[in-house]
Structure 1
């Protein structure tokens, strides 16, 4: 169902209230940041950097490897929290960090205030067009791409690590390709080739690629008109489907999970007149200029014979860093259309399935590139596709030893087992860029080495079969030979953390239970203080106005809730998302149980579970809520003058309506 959208007055009131909250809490945030900056100074980070600057690592046979001088990495996307995670990780691993952001975004971007950043540059917007038309087969070079390449060459960077947004991923891939050519492969980039980025980013092409790799995928087709959409829906056996814009970012339709065709309430049969009317009045018109993807809806499984309940489907997301064909970092967590609380779940049954799926996908993709020139497999007649080879998968100017490299962020639908039907994990989308979920990996000291090619690592990296070895291996042998990538803490650690969380919420607030509650709270606080990523992560700037205040006892009166809904239609306790608790079976230490993830709940113990905060780098926390977001809100109110329905604190996205 489509969400109720605010009018202009409601949007303005909401903006003013958020600005007021920022002003009221600014002294508290400032004192927190000041305290930790004085007690946990930048010397902690500096000591890590200096200790790694001229480190000597040892080969497995005991011989010293050549020492590595301090290297430089270029990171973009300063407005997004994932860039902050990446900058801190590289700085703590001994790198100089050069940060860039687009003009209009970067002036007060929180990440630029991090002590992990060595230099900061503003560059032209990625939305500016190219000055000249690209020749056939070439990619247009925009001012944004030119500036990225210029900064990289001037700063003599060794690695380009994009933290791309949805609109700049393609441009970042082109910039990486140009850097590779200009430096003859010296500068490596942690992003896929432009051809692979396009194939993964566009839903219809991603589904076509999955079909070609013989991997489960929902039926998905691109439609260019209402008549074409109706005709496909009316064809025999066509599944009920959802509709998503393929050409633009659809802030309104992002959360719209309407199933087509619409059904008559009395007969439960398709109502084609109502369906046509709905398709003709989408927020972004369905036409040749703005086509849509008609995608099969994968929902709950029916109950098995004799069973009361069926299998409830759930949405999951993953982040995978791939270096030269090897999966080096991986995280999985339950998801929804705008995820704001991240739970570590890589060691659950879904995480294990997703890890195996990702490894299989990478193996088959590499095999496709090695065999496509002599393959007789026809391209999908339904969608666009690419002729895959080494140049389109790895890059024409990549080093000889290079393999598929980049970030693969997948969205999955998980259908649990019911009766004789096995559990099923189906990929529905791929974002070829860093996922914010990478914040769950910051507690793992091996993350820094997992994000770079072997030639730029401080220590020997052993992650599995080499590229040449993989080409001669069958799929089962390849999967069996893989080493586990960097992930969050193991299940037993997570279970101990969950026990502490459950104890705090289950025990009644009585005098008799106070000592027990204090014990568990102390345990959680110690874990949060040392940066234990087994704790869920969320942003207090979202939790406070969207979750904590609406659920507060003082604001629970019906008349107060009514006023809150008048201010914003989504702002009240009664409007909290329904069905946001995802439950899956777990097995650890020989015991079976159920893990429940409440995606509408805030993370405990702010600011320690706020990814913007770090003890040795506290000022980005202050800058995010009292510099960056006030600027964005004022710009939205005064300059853009457009209504908004939701805000994503972590990605700096304002969903306009």
Structure 2
């Protein structure tokens, strides 16, 4: 992985190599694209046929709604757009795009009735106002019933502001938290404080605004056996992946590491206890404080492979209970997507595998008050639309209640029905095929056996797993992602000389050095 210290020549070579890969696979991918379209002449695939049967019933029990999904350039937004389309609703897509340059893969999806460009917020009051006005204009023009926010980290607070304005001046319902809730959950330190105030477990966490405070806390922890990691409270790609365990063996090593971090009142960090165990993530849809849909899966710092945990496992049950308790305690105005990152002690995991009824002690380390890519696991689960999102349009007193969490009656959530395992072929092609092969020619590279194991893993994903973007009935977004969107990003980085270290194919995000 290249860093900021890597030469511009190395970064240029990285961009050129990925542009070459896109060009190399263009004929094959174009053939698959046309084959997918041709197959529809002879076979009926997936949602379009279901959609036709839904529309042909003309029963009073189904009324097509107009749904606005923002963030359709990301897998999570595209997945939800397709699910709403399959359920028979009219889907309006929106995302950030340059004028006259259709880049986002969701723009070309068959599931969309229309696509609109959003004005991108730039951190200023004027930029936020333009963004909110662009959303409001779409909602009024298209007569939108529900706005499903799938935007990214960059517009988290602005989405909260938009929710407040939209529900104040229109009849549209928003699957999005208000400003105060979004800030409380989005910011790492306030999330931990809020979770602790509800009596839920948290790892030992301290907000720090100076290097001296960090060193003092680490000194006080001497003898406890605890290890800590530093996390910047805001968004900074250059330090996002730093998992250095503190303190070091000597005080001088610890001080040297801390001295390299920019810590101040204006740039606060958190010092958080490190838990030695696997990481898990969740995705939930919450409507009026009630968890309507839920899934959990193994996680990682850069998660590119999704596999749902068994619904009846102790881990899944414990994560659901945590989510329900937080959602219920947050009140009836608590509506939106909700995802958590948990760490679980290795001993707890082994114990949970032996006893599925065990209550597992979880350590929440982060909350994302927005849709998670794990929503892809709900492909083929139309109940998430009918029993989840559509509940937002029902009068509150008509929502059924039949099970309890801490005395509050709730409806059991929808889980993914026989979920597939998901990967992204572009990511795996590079990580499991190209890079292992190139490492054979480096001094400390992989052995032939290790390279072969990576290739076998790639073939396993190719044959048995499902790509997160490609659908045989809607093939153009996948082609667009790899032959329009990413080539443009790599070309732009090549021309401007911008240095990046990693990309997330599912969220279309590039991480700067």
TM-score using structure 1 length: 0.69
Structure 2 counterpart SS, 1:253: coil
Deviation of the 1:47 alpha carbon = 4.2
> Match of 1:79?
73
> Match of 2:194?
209
Alignment match of 1:250 (pick from 210, 233, 236): 236
> Does the C-alpha gap of structure 1 residues 611 and 353 become closer, same or farther in structure 2, counting only changes over 3 Å?
same
- 1:103 and 2:97 are equivalent in the alignment: yes
- 1:485 and 2:413 are equivalent in the alignment: yes
> Match of 1:21?
21
- 1:230 and 2:215 are equivalent in the alignment: yes
> Does the C-alpha gap of structure 1 residues 633 and 30 become closer, same or farther in structure 2, counting only changes over 3 Å?
same
CA distance in 2, matches of 1:222, 1:287: 11
CA distance in 1, matches of 2:274, 2:203: 7
> Match of 2:121?
126
Alignment match of 1:263 (pick from 236, 249, 254): 249
What 5-or-longer segments of structure 2 have no aligned partner? 353-357, 452-456
- 1:630 and 2:475 are equivalent in the alignment: no
CA distance in 2, matches of 1:606, 1:30: 20
CA distance in 1, matches of 2:202, 2:500: 33
Bigger radius of gyration, 1 or 2?
1
8 A contact 1:213–1:365 mirrored in 2: no
> Match of 2:454?
none
CA distance in 2, matches of 1:346, 1:169: 31
Structure 1 counterpart SS, 2:432: helix
Deviation of the 1:10 alpha carbon = 1.8
- 1:179 and 2:132 are equivalent in the alignment: no
8 A contact 1:54–1:67 mirrored in 2: no
CA distance in 2, matches of 1:603, 1:191: 37
CA distance in 1, matches of 2:94, 2:138: 9
Deviation of the 1:425 alpha carbon = 1.6
Deviation of the 1:141 alpha carbon = 4.3
CA distance in 1, matches of 2:86, 2:117: 24
CA distance in 2, matches of 1:281, 1:174: 36
> Match of 1:167?
154
Point out the more displaced range, 100-109 or 625-634. Answer: 100-109
> Does the C-alpha gap of structure 1 residues 147 and 201 become closer, same or farther in structure 2, counting only changes over 3 Å?
same
Deviations 1:516-538 (A, max 9, x none): xxxxxxxxxxxxxxxx63x3210
CA distance in 1, matches of 2:83, 2:425: 22
> Does the C-alpha gap of structure 1 residues 37 and 10 become closer, same or farther in structure 2, counting only changes over 3 Å?
same
8 A contact 2:325–2:406 mirrored in 1: no
> Match of 2:84?
90
Deviation of the 1:603 alpha carbon = 5.7
1:295-334 equivalent positions in 2, closer than 5 A: 295-299=272-276, 313-334=277-298
What 5-or-longer segments of structure 1 have no aligned partner? 58-65, 132-139, 265-270, 300-312, 367-389, 395-403, 490-531, 566-571, 578-599
> Does the C-alpha gap of structure 1 residues 175 and 602 become closer, same or farther in structure 2, counting only changes over 3 Å?
farther
Structure 2 counterpart SS, 1:142: helix
> Match of 1:276?
255
Deviation of the 1:562 alpha carbon = 4.4
> Does the C-alpha gap of structure 1 residues 30 and 190 become closer, same or farther in structure 2, counting only changes over 3 Å?
same
- Provide the alpha-carbon RMSD of the alignment: 3.3
> Match of 2:510?
654
Deviation of the 1:656 alpha carbon = 1.2
CA distance in 2, matches of 1:352, 1:623: 38
Deviations 1:175-233 (A, max 9, x none): 111010002xx210111121111110001111111111000001222211212222232
